[in-house]
Amino acid sequence: MELVTEKKGAIFIVRAKGRLDASWTDFFTEAFLEFIRQGEHDLLIDAEGISFLSSAGIRSLVRIHKDLTKLKGRFRIVNANEFVVNTLQMTGFGVWIEKKAEADLVAIHVADAGGDLPADCFLIEKNAEMKLSIVNHWAPWEKADGEKLKTIDYQSVTFSVGVGCPQGSDSENQTMVGDFMVVAGNILFQSPEEESRPDFLQPLENFVPKFRVLQAVEAKGNISHLIRFKPNAETQNFSVSALIEKCHNLLQSDNILFVILAESDGMVGAQLIQSPTFISDSMSVEGIGLREWLSFTGERAFVGDQVLAVGVASLKPNQPLEPLLRQTSKDEAWFSHIHAAVFPYQPIQNGLLDLQTQLSRFLNGPPPKALMHLINDQRPEAGLGQTRFSRGAVWCSAIKMEETL
Amino acid sequence: MLEIKGLIKTFFPHTINEVKALRDIDLTIQEGSFTAIIGTNGSGKSTLLNAIAGTFIPDSGSILLAGQPITFWPEFQRAKLIGRVFQNPFAGTAAEMTIAENIVMAMRRGLSHPLSKAVTSKARAEIKERVSVLKMGLEDRLDNPIGTLSGGQRQALTLLMATWLKPKILLLDEHTAALDPKSAAKVAELTKYIVDKEKLTAMMVTHSMQQAVDLPDRIVMMHKGKIVADYQKEHKQRVRIPDLLATFDRVQKKELFDESVATLLREQYV
Ligand SMILES: Nc1ncnc2c1ncn2[C@@H]1O[C@H](COP(=O)(O)OP(=O)(O)OP(=O)(O)O)[C@@H](O)[C@H]1O
Ligand SMILES: [Mg+2]
């Protein structure tokens, strides 16, 4: 038995040659379980070279199929000879046989737009794009009283980063302005109180989440592409700027909205720990005094946790976007504003992934542990660099800039 | 009940070994309250209890216990007001003496002839009754040397002895830390029971977040000789282990927040 493998988009093709009988099934099963373990969940066996299939061989195929089903994977056989096709059909496993394989192979897969990162790209909605707006503006560390807050309704097409607080009685909530993010209408926020945990507001049938916003950049529209990435021998992890660059290659746009759902390989970020509404006229937040207002991760934090991040990135930001973006990394030209929520690790399936489904899965699962504003730490000695991810998904869309901006 | 103001203690001052063990501690403990003291190693928890017990005189600050200004009282004089239990189960009792004799010693603490260990029959009846509260069957073994008991049993007895005379304050310093998990849970449960039943005022140093969340009605967190968090009333009720860990984390992060971080975030945070 000889196995030759090839990767086509998300599909992992195994060309098998020889007899699949009792003496080869252990080898065959183990080889396939290893493919699955390495994340290959869309398996296609090219059976042209399989000359014989015994009951032991079928048992092996059943086992592989079972493991893949658990992972919502796909298992198909193409090009089998008449004997193998008949054997499978008579034993009730005819459904695995795929007739016109090649056409199917290209259907979901978009040609990789270039770049050297190991990633798969999918087209979700052709020509989908986003419109940008600055909802409210506050520059740290201006005095920020409650009257400045604007109440915003969040619809499912809205993506945003900023600072604000949930709606409620004024006197209480004025003191609660903290970092927040909006992903497809779901608001995730962190009150700046010492003991508070991140919380969220999910749009339900008749419930449109509202939020009181002190500062926010917002993009409205649909997602056009999905990128799936995972490490290989050359690339162990993916920096935020590398993922943005990948979106750029795909979208051919200088302004990008992106949502990342990925396993963290070290987060670097800061978080408001006191509401800016407490800044008074006489006060100036200076020097080390900043630590009463912001906390900093101080190390590459939350490695191995699952992160949901949303951000706006631009190559040449102009007014009024420019003051709200910062350089994403030292060497690259991107400017961005990114907020991220950290969830306990949950595996995510390979291949095409629906953002709404994943959002409701994470928001209905174990609660987020932290929410932060990502920081590019380029301090000369102690610098932690930028946030990195090991594997996951990026949904993205081009942002269409309007003249009024 | 206990009022601590501006308490400062520095060990080996003006030397390279200088340790600022207590930096300006203000703490008021209400009568009948049960407070857990948590914090990293060397944060000053034991030093705080030692300051109350009078192991040393503080560099500055004052301590008022049950209305008495005890700041400069010697340790033995305070002992009448204070019950203590330490980590080591062998520390609080005399191994070669029987259970009953050990308890009689505790009962006579602060009396004029404290060293007489004769056990009168009246005392014996009272001892039997109170030891049975431990539910360890020790009431039937009152004449066994205490050295024959397990660590958990000895620690339970030490706790009983420390509270026999209803001290103004009970100080527990990691008193379950040296016990196996089952004995530790049993002694923790007994602690809560005795503190509640006798309406004692108690302070318990512990590294067990679970104990801190479960037993007391207040949690004070120390770090580098300072009180950095204080959970009382409804705050205490909603606090859970992850919150305590998050607070530890925050405190440590704040420490790493230096000038370079301030400069970085001033540029980067929008
Ligand atoms: N008698 C002493 N002489 C000198 N230094 C001391 C003395 N007692 C405590 N220290 C120092 O003071 C600091 C605080 O110690 P302390 O024992 O109060 O900490 P702790 O919070 O109880 O820690 P642990 O959790 O390890 O028991 C430590 O650096 C310790 O080395
Ligand atoms: Mg100690």
State residue A287's pLDDT score. 81
Distance separating alpha carbons of residues B206 and B36, to the nearest angstrom? 7
Residue B215, both tokens:
């037993």
Asked whether the CA dihedral A155, A363, A386, A166 is positive or negative, the reply is positive
DSSP state for residue B112 in the 8-state scheme = S
**Global confidence as pTM:** 0.69
State residue A103's pLDDT score. 36
Which of A296, A297, A373 to probe the B interface (max B CBs under 10 A)?
A296
State residue A206's pLDDT score. 79
Within a 13 Å sphere around the CA of A401, how many CA atoms are in the beta-carbon half? 17
Indicate the length of chain B as a whole number. Answer: 270
Instruction: With residue A311 as reference, give the H or E element that holds it.
Output: strand A306-314
Please indicate, yes or no, whether residues A219 and A361 belong to a single structural domain of this protein.
yes
Q: Is the distance from CB of A389 to CB of A238 less than 8 angstroms?
A: yes
Distance separating alpha carbons of residues B193 and A4, to the nearest angstrom? 70
Please indicate, yes or no, whether residues A132 and A99 belong to a single structural domain of this protein.
no
In this structure, the strands spanning A269-272 and A294-296 are antiparallel
Is the C-beta atom of B46 inside 6 A of ligand 1? yes
Distance separating alpha carbons of residues A269 and A374, to the nearest angstrom? 4
Please indicate, yes or no, whether residues A165 and A99 belong to a single structural domain of this protein.
no
Residue that is written with structure tokens 């049975």 in the block:
B132
Residue A182, both tokens:
């909006």
Please indicate, yes or no, whether residues A155 and A28 belong to a single structural domain of this protein.
no
Backbone φ/ψ region at A230: left (φ over 0), alpha (ψ -120 to 50), beta = beta
Residues in chain A, pLDDT under 50: 101-109, 111, 113, 404-405
Mean pLDDT by 10 residues, chain B (270 residues): 96 94 96 96 96 96 95 93 92 88 83 66 89 92 93 94 94 95 95 96 96 95 95 90 88 88 94
Distance separating alpha carbons of residues A343 and A175, to the nearest angstrom? 26
Which is the closest atom of ligand 1 to the Cα of B39?
21
The answer, for A296 touching chain B at a CB cutoff of 8 Å, is yes
Distance separating alpha carbons of residues A336 and A376, to the nearest angstrom? 10
Please indicate, yes or no, whether residues A189 and A285 belong to a single structural domain of this protein.
yes
Q: What's the CA-to-centroid distance between B44 and ligand 1, angstroms?
A: 6
Residues of B in contact with A375 (CB under 8 A): 264-265, 268-269
Identify which of A323, A373, A379 has the shortest CB distance to residue B264: A379
Q: What does residue B140 show for φ and ψ, rounded to 5 degrees?
A: -90, 0
Max intra-chain CA distance, chain B: 79
Say which CATH topology domain B2-91+150-239 has: Rossmann fold (3.40.50)
Asked whether the CA dihedral B109, B110, B115, B118 is positive or negative, the reply is negative
State residue B115's pLDDT score. 59
In a domain, A114, yes or no: no
Residue A375, both tokens:
């920081």
Measure in Å the smallest separation between the Cα of A298 and chain B Cα atoms: 6
Question: Position A241: which residue type?
Answer: S
Measure in Å the smallest separation between the Cα of B127 and chain A Cα atoms: 46
Distance separating alpha carbons of residues A81 and A89, to the nearest angstrom? 12
Q: Is the distance from CB of A88 to CB of A79 less than 8 angstroms?
A: no
- List the beta strands (DSSP E) in A21-157: 42-53, 74-78, 119-123, 129-136, 150-153
Please indicate, yes or no, whether residues A71 and A183 belong to a single structural domain of this protein.
no
Please indicate, yes or no, whether residues A153 and A63 belong to a single structural domain of this protein.
no
Identify which of B258, B259, B268 has the shortest CB distance to residue A376: B268
Please indicate, yes or no, whether residues A11 and A80 belong to a single structural domain of this protein.
yes
Is the C-beta atom of B223 inside 6 A of ligand 1? no
Residue B111, both tokens:
């009396």
Residue A71, both tokens:
């992972």
Task: Let me know the angle formed at the C-alpha of A207 by A202 and A209, rounded to the nearest 5 degrees.
Answer: 55
Please indicate, yes or no, whether residues A189 and A88 belong to a single structural domain of this protein.
no
Residue of A nearest to B258 (CA): A288
DSSP state for residue A113 in the 8-state scheme = -
Residues of B in contact with A270 (CB under 8 A): 265, 268-269
In a domain, A116, yes or no: no
Instruction: Kindly report the protein residue whose alpha carbon is nearest to atom 18 of ligand 1.
Output: B44
Max intra-chain CA distance, chain A: 87
State residue A114's pLDDT score. 53
Q: Is the distance from CB of B177 to CB of B147 less than 8 angstroms?
A: no
Q: Is the distance from CB of A259 to CB of A313 less than 8 angstroms?
A: no
Distance separating alpha carbons of residues A370 and A366, to the nearest angstrom? 12
DSSP class per residue in B239-252 = --HHHHHHHHHHHH
State residue A156's pLDDT score. 86
- Domain containing A30: what range? 2-105
Distance separating alpha carbons of residues A115 and A248, to the nearest angstrom? 10
pLDDT tens, A231-253?
Answer: 988 889 999 999 999 999 999 99
Within a 13 Å sphere around the CA of A304, how many CA atoms are in the beta-carbon half? 0
Distance set, CA A31 to CA A13, A169, B80, B251 (Å): 13, 61, 75, 49
Report chain B's terminal Cα–Cα distance, integer Å: 48
Please indicate, yes or no, whether residues A93 and A195 belong to a single structural domain of this protein.
no
Please indicate, yes or no, whether residues A51 and A166 belong to a single structural domain of this protein.
no
Could you tell me if the ipTM is greater than 0.85? no
State residue A331's pLDDT score. 78
Sequence ranges of the domains in chain B: 2-91+150-239
What residues does A153 pair with on adjacent strands? A210
Q: Count structural domains, chain A.
A: 2
Residue A256, both tokens:
């990008």
State residue A115's pLDDT score. 56
Question: Position B225: which residue type?
Answer: G
State residue B110's pLDDT score. 62
Nearest to A178 by CA among A193, A160, A191, A162: A191
Residue that is written with structure tokens 């903290």 in the block:
A178
CB pairs under 8 A between A and B: 76
In a domain, A110, yes or no: no
In this structure, the strands spanning A225-229 and A210-221 are unpaired
Long-range contacts of residues B138-141, Cβ cutoff 8 Å, at least 24 apart: B138/B99, B141/B99
Q: Nearest ligand to the C-alpha of residue B18?
A: 1
Please indicate, yes or no, whether residues A191 and A274 belong to a single structural domain of this protein.
yes
Q: Do A375 and B265 touch (CB under 8 A)?
A: yes
Q: Do A291 and B270 touch (CB under 8 A)?
A: no
In a domain, A39, yes or no: yes
CATH number of residue A8's parent domain: 3.30.750.24
Judged on CB neighbours under 10 Å (0-12, 13-18, 19+), A131 is middle
Q: Nearest ligand to the C-alpha of residue B86?
A: 2
Q: Do A326 and B262 touch (CB under 8 A)?
A: no
